[in-house]
Structure 1
Amino acid sequence: MEHTDKELKYLSLLSKQFPTAASVASEIMNLQAILNLPKGTEHFLADVHGEYEAFIHVLKNASGTIRRKVSELFGGQIREQEIRELCTLIYYPQESLERIRQRESSVADWYVVAINQLIKVCQRVSEKYTRSKVRKALPPQYSYIIQELLHEDGLNSKKAGYLQAIQNSIIETGQAEDFIIAISETIQRLAIDHLHVVGDVYDRGPGAHVIMDKLLTYHNVDIQWGNHDILWMGAAVGNEASMANVIRIALRYANLATLEGGYGINLLPLARLAMEEYADDPCKRFQAKVGDTDEAYDDKSLYLISQMHKAIAVIQFKLEAQLIARRPEYGMQGRNLLHLMNLVEGTIRLPDGSEHPLLDTHFPTIDLEDPYRLTEAEVDVVARLKHSFLHSEKLRKHVNFLYKKGSMYLAYNFQLLYHASIPLNEDRSFKRVRVGDRYYAGRELMDRVDEYVRLAHWSASDAPEHGEAVDYMWYLWCGPDSPLFDKSAMTTFERYFIADKATHHEQKGFYYVYRVEQEVCERILAEFGLEGPDTHIINGHVPVKAVKGEVPLQAGGKLMLIDGGFSRAYQSSTGMAGYTLIFNSQGLQLVKHEPFSSTRQAIEQMEDIESISVVREYSSHRILVQDTDQGKILIAQVEELKKLLYAYKHGLIKEQE
């Protein structure tokens, strides 16, 4: 085995970490053992849309994984009621302990049983990991104790007393409840090795900021940006049209908790403008969808929300028109409709020549001589709102995390993850799309869009492409060729002001037509370097309407759709509350969820989300760590270590005593 000077220089650096042949051999043995373990469990979610209680519960129960393991361990040994109680204890240990403390007459006896059961569950969820990895996941204050309990089965009579003494000591020192909480949280952590969020944390539901706080502390997560995430990211980097859309959607769903409570966005300037300009306007077209929120509003508050909703919608149309004028290359001039209104006759003539009655003609801030000019009051409101977005410390923290952990797509362990679309032509070829001054298609397009999104955030404000990238953030939200939208138009204006539903239609791109074809999906997978029987595309974005017979597995099993309706706003049309995906060493399991009532009911009634496995796709072989992307990295490390071992044994590099 010959080594170049460059290789020897690298091996010399590596020898600092492994200074002896024995240490190298030990690490090689360790890595080769890890390579032969089953791969860790991956968890895929999409389109959670601010539904933080359901999201957090699905994280806690690992899409039913923990319930299944508990049933495997104790089914037939304890009653169903006790299984439910044990699962609830694992999901919500602190709250469960409060209830149990009030109920149990001999709580010390209950502690003994609970600790034994939890240890068994922890053993089951940790069995595919190395001791080192398990140790790193353990709470520091109980690491040694849990390790001792996990790695002994109690059958050794010489150690049974030792193990019993540990448990007795936990109870006698008053640490039982703290220990139960710690081991329950450890079970939650070990049940899932890696979390993938395939877009759309934001909008509609009341707690996107709560979800982001949870993700900030999650042990291993990546995010593929969705169109609603990009909208918020655009607002956070100063795109005024994106900002107006964010506020309009929040008002439409009466969801002010995220804006005001979560991020401290000051809506008072908008409220003052709305009350002044729309004082006598019923704003019927702008009444909030209160059925989708937990917030309780009185009639006066709801009326103010509708006024603010209309005010920001008009501002949005003006800001979008200004951006479209600034970027004619977007080809979206047909979306400017205010100048086509005839307020005297109460009609509008659309660009296609069709004429329609307007459902609302009260526009006190629109001058038809110059309809896209903001009034002085609107300019002031936009400036104040923009200041709030740019100076929200928590929003900045969350958006920084989206950039750090997020991307347009991810090719990982045979799976290709992206939120919405890869634009296609009618002949099924990859569509060439303009980004900046060049055209891109397929993987190159996704890479260039990813780069542009980062330019909007990280580049200096005076950098050549910064302003263009900031504008492009809005295009990604609603542009016809955006991989996050891929429709002919976003017909927001028509939905508000025209009754004819034909004008509301948004023609989907050819990706949505052809993604049901196995050959098309295989071509997309190959474009991203993924081929073979175990490869899949995982999408969100478009809710699966199970109630109408739609299915989440398409294209001969090559496409998996996991947006089934987490958001309550969608559940009437989907008929359920979302799909999630579990990928372990045996294959893929697509799980369908029923609606989640509330965290309170989950604790008090010990109700879990009813989760049904609707698709099980077994891999062509048991997937080991060596088969994964991480395994490729470890295999490369083993090869480098073998070179170092050779260098030590042949005197090319001296061992350090």
Structure 2
Amino acid sequence: MLHTKQDVLHNLKYLKALAIQYPTEQAASTEIINLQAILNLPKGTEHFMSDLHGEYEAFLHILNNASGVIREKVDLLYEKSLPSKERAVLATLIYYPEEKLKEIKEDSADMEEWYRITLNRLIEICRLVSSKYTRSKVRKALPKDFEYIIDELLHTNYDELNKEKYYENIIETIIDIERADEFIFALCNTIKRLVVDRLHIVGDIFDRGPRADIVMDSLMEHHCVDIQWGNHDVLWMGAAAGSRTCIASVLNNSITYNNLEVVEMGYGINLRPLALFAAEVYGTKDVSCFRPKLQSAQYCNPKDIRLVACMHKAIAVIQFKLEGQIIQRNPGFNMDDRLLLDKIDYEHKTVRIGNKDYKLRDCDFPTVNRENPYELTDEETLLMEQLKFAFRHSEKLQKHVRFLYAKGGLYKCYNGNLLFHGCIPMNTDGSFMEFECDGERLSGRAFMDYTESLARQAFTANAHSPEKLRGKDFMWFLWCGRNSPLFGRDKITTFERLLVDDKTVWEEPKNPYYVHSATEEACVRMLKEFELDYPHSHIINGHVPVRSKDGETPVKANGRLIVIDGGFCRAYQPTTGIAGYTLVFNSYGIRIISHEPFDGARNAIRKNKDILSTSQIYETMQSRIKVSGTDEGQVIKENIEGLRLLLSAYRIGVLKEQHNK
């Protein structure tokens, strides 16, 4: 359908720009045909993961096996022709091509035959996973070194005798010139790239587990990923931005779980100044309640543990002081009740919390000035400047945080689903909680947008500016502030858990969101707030582990809410009973996958042991979802409309075609 001249003239500036890319009627027509065809392809597979907490081995395995999708493809092709053990070996080869191939070479007597058989099988799998994409998109996903060869093999017609010989000759030549290993790596990586179109990380990449930096390296290599920040993520982002309070909190968390590897080895941050300061100030003090939590199989030298406990005490006291300074600077945070250093009675060794005094396990704090308890000593100030310099000048950390800002945000609306890590803060009556924001009262989506802008300001504002300080303070608020949308609780009880035996003060009451979000009515209201008023829209959440061993289910609110934090982190697994949930949303519908604890990459490679996973079909669509029904499809439709306008401009003579001579 052609447009009127008036339509064309109204959009002439846009059409002139478009004509540079499509200078002829034929070029515009070809692209319309191409885009229209794409709309009728099945939608790509989306893979959702949450609360990774530095557990890089389990993360990489689930990333490699796409929550079991790759093994499904292997079984689909070879269930009737290969025994289960051979299919497991083939799947493991795809997950870990270099490591598995090295092992196979050690055990195989006839590698040429193995290469011939395996290459054919991998090409078949690659053909299957590429079948729902255009040839152009597949070609863009192919590794440059083998782009032409793989493209040829994927689109060869094996029913034609000449083509069959051609195909066989390519395989034989690859083996003959000793390029089979590299070709296997290329095919395996192509399969993993094509089987998942988009990866969603719904928060909390950092803390507790050993190497969040390895997780971040892998995410930076992924072809298509988005990240919804978690409270642990913004804490590290705040530290990278230079917030001393966030730095102290990062170190407190890392020391609590005896996990300094990610700080020192992962990010090259020198903790020697902290160790020297701690040994000097607390070396002869009682630090028993600051001992780190150790894994059952973890052995450490008692002297090392004592030094780490001294470091813990040193940084915890500094953290409490710096948190007090932020609370005093920002009365709008409404957190004065978290000022506890000035509530300590040193003679009776108690602290007043609320209207009650509680016995302290330790109150030997030689650096605390009782007249001004939130002031750092000169030595503490120097130490924090040294640590701040280390965090600000860690090249790897800065690179990772820039990636988090580029690919991340507080929430994401995608293909009808609303993704965020924590909560949309609510009042007890279910209404959206209002916050004072620069003279305005904001709630719901407006507050989330304001929050994200302040989080970005922490990293991008000019050094030493009021905007920079405000942003850095707000990053700490997002980490643990009262009813923060990423924290979602009334308070964080770090002080109480370290220093008070009475566990009644350890409680961290959740925001009413966690009550109301269990109802369909509240979830529909939240979805409408974000303009997602569709029958198949869902909220996808992380943050609060699902206690599956107690019968809790990840699906709530009559299917409107899916919580996929099931305990990736080993520290949570005794509580949850499993090792995490993931979600797969393909053209047929949504599946929830629950995972058992991972026995390590070494066993996965040597014994072909996959993570034991249980897939539950959560929602099946009546008809297969096509690209036309996705966000990408909407963009394509808009592009088609623009190209149709351009066709009209050419045909009615408003624009002149530009043919190459």
Measured against the shorter chain, the TM-score band is over 0.9
1:374-416 CA-to-partner distances (Å, cap 9, x unmatched) read: 2222111111111111111111111111100010000000110
Residues paired across the two proteins, number: 655
Q: Give the secondary-structure state (helix, strand or coil) at the position aligned to 2:532.
A: coil
Q: Distance in 2 between matches of 1:603 and 1:574?
A: 27
Q: Distance in 2 between matches of 1:434 and 1:604?
A: 57
Does the Cα contact within 8 Å between 1:435 and 1:449 map onto a contact in 2? Answer: no
| Residue in 2 that maps onto 1:622 | 624
Does the Cα contact within 8 Å between 1:433 and 1:481 map onto a contact in 2? Answer: no
Does the Cα contact within 8 Å between 2:49 and 2:202 map onto a contact in 1? Answer: yes
| Residue in 2 that maps onto 1:324 | 327
| Residue in 2 that maps onto 1:363 | 365
Does the Cα contact within 8 Å between 1:44 and 1:197 map onto a contact in 2? Answer: yes
Does the Cα contact within 8 Å between 1:534 and 1:619 map onto a contact in 2? Answer: no
1:7 aligns with 2:11: yes
| Residue in 2 that maps onto 1:117 | 121
Query: What letter corresponds to residue 342 of structure 1 in structure 2?
Result: D
Q: Distance in 1 between matches of 2:310 and 2:345?
A: 22
Does the Cα contact within 8 Å between 1:436 and 1:468 map onto a contact in 2? Answer: no
In the TM superposition, 1:269-418 aligns within 5 A as 269-291=273-295, 297-350=300-353, 352-418=354-420
Q: Distance in 1 between matches of 2:371 and 2:449?
A: 43
Q: Offset of 1:295 from its aligned partner?
A: 6.8
Decide whether aligned partners of structure 1 residues 279 and 7 sit closer, same or farther in structure 2, where only a CA change above 3 A counts: same
Q: Offset of 1:142 from its aligned partner?
A: 1.0
Aligned partner of 2:206 among 202, 208, 212: 202
1:41 aligns with 2:70: no
Aligned partner of 2:232 among 214, 221, 228: 228
Q: Which range is displaced more, 458-467 or 589-598?
A: 458-467
| Residue in 2 that maps onto 1:519 | 521
Q: Offset of 1:109 from its aligned partner?
A: 0.3
Aligned partner of 1:69 among 63, 70, 73: 73
Report the RMSD for the aligned CA atoms in angstroms: 1.3
| Residue in 2 that maps onto 1:212 | 216
| Residue in 2 that maps onto 1:454 | 456
Q: Offset of 1:462 from its aligned partner?
A: 5.3
Q: Distance in 2 between matches of 1:7 and 1:373?
A: 62
Q: Distance in 2 between matches of 1:434 and 1:233?
A: 24
Q: Distance in 2 between matches of 1:313 and 1:557?
A: 42
1:653 aligns with 2:659: no
1:146 aligns with 2:150: yes
Q: Distance in 2 between matches of 1:618 and 1:280?
A: 64
1:138-157 CA-to-partner distances (Å, cap 9, x unmatched) read: 11111111111111252222
Q: Distance in 2 between matches of 1:280 and 1:435?
A: 47
| Residue in 1 that maps onto 2:247 | 243
Q: Which range is displaced more, 483-492 or 336-345?
A: 336-345
Aligned partner of 1:577 among 564, 576, 579: 579
Does the Cα contact within 8 Å between 2:5 and 2:649 map onto a contact in 1? Answer: no
Q: Distance in 2 between matches of 1:345 and 1:20?
A: 87
1:160 aligns with 2:136: no
In the TM superposition, 1:466-505 aligns within 5 A as 466-505=468-507
| Residue in 2 that maps onto 1:632 | 634
Q: Give the secondary-structure state (helix, strand or coil) at the position aligned to 2:11.
A: helix
Q: Distance in 2 between matches of 1:376 and 1:367?
A: 12
Query: What letter corresponds to residue 15 of structure 1 in structure 2?
Result: A
Q: Distance in 2 between matches of 1:535 and 1:355?
A: 49
Q: Offset of 1:75 from its aligned partner?
A: 0.7
Q: Distance in 1 between matches of 2:13 and 2:390?
A: 52
1:87 aligns with 2:105: no
Q: Offset of 1:99 from its aligned partner?
A: 1.0
Q: Give the secondary-structure state (helix, strand or coil) at the position aligned to 2:351.
A: strand
Q: Distance in 2 between matches of 1:527 and 1:215?
A: 30
Q: Offset of 1:620 from its aligned partner?
A: 4.3
Unaligned runs of 5+ in 1: none
1:537-562 CA-to-partner distances (Å, cap 9, x unmatched) read: 00000011111111100000000001
Does the Cα contact within 8 Å between 1:414 and 1:530 map onto a contact in 2? Answer: yes
1:567-613 CA-to-partner distances (Å, cap 9, x unmatched) read: 01101101111001111111111110111111111111111111111
Q: Offset of 1:619 from its aligned partner?
A: 2.5
Q: Distance in 1 between matches of 2:285 and 2:601?
A: 39
1:13-34 CA-to-partner distances (Å, cap 9, x unmatched) read: 2111111111111100000000
Query: What letter corresponds to residue 188 of structure 1 in structure 2?
Result: K
1:230-286 CA-to-partner distances (Å, cap 9, x unmatched) read: 101111111111110000000011111111111121211111111112222342211
| TM-score scaled by length of structure 1 | 0.98
Q: Offset of 1:464 from its aligned partner?
A: 4.8
1:107 aligns with 2:111: yes
Q: Give the secondary-structure state (helix, strand or coil) at the position aligned to 1:355.
A: strand
Q: Distance in 2 between matches of 1:654 and 1:366?
A: 78
| Residue in 2 that maps onto 1:506 | 508
Does the Cα contact within 8 Å between 2:5 and 2:652 map onto a contact in 1? Answer: no
Does the Cα contact within 8 Å between 1:42 and 1:194 map onto a contact in 2? Answer: yes
Q: Distance in 2 between matches of 1:382 and 1:46?
A: 32
Q: Distance in 2 between matches of 1:8 and 1:371?
A: 67
Q: Give the secondary-structure state (helix, strand or coil) at the position aligned to 2:525.
A: helix
Q: Give the secondary-structure state (helix, strand or coil) at the position aligned to 1:291.
A: coil
Unaligned runs of 5+ in 2: none
Query: What letter corresponds to residue 333 of structure 1 in structure 2?
Result: D
1:142-184 CA-to-partner distances (Å, cap 9, x unmatched) read: 1111111111252222311111111111101101111011100
| Residue in 2 that maps onto 1:188 | 192
Q: Distance in 1 between matches of 2:658 and 2:381?
A: 69
Does the Cα contact within 8 Å between 2:28 and 2:646 map onto a contact in 1? Answer: yes
Q: Distance in 2 between matches of 1:380 and 1:649?
A: 73
Does the Cα contact within 8 Å between 1:533 and 1:620 map onto a contact in 2? Answer: no
Q: Distance in 1 between matches of 2:438 and 2:300?
A: 45
Q: Which range is displaced more, 10-19 or 363-372?
A: 363-372
Q: Which range is displaced more, 279-288 or 421-430?
A: 279-288
Aligned partner of 1:442 among 441, 444, 455: 444
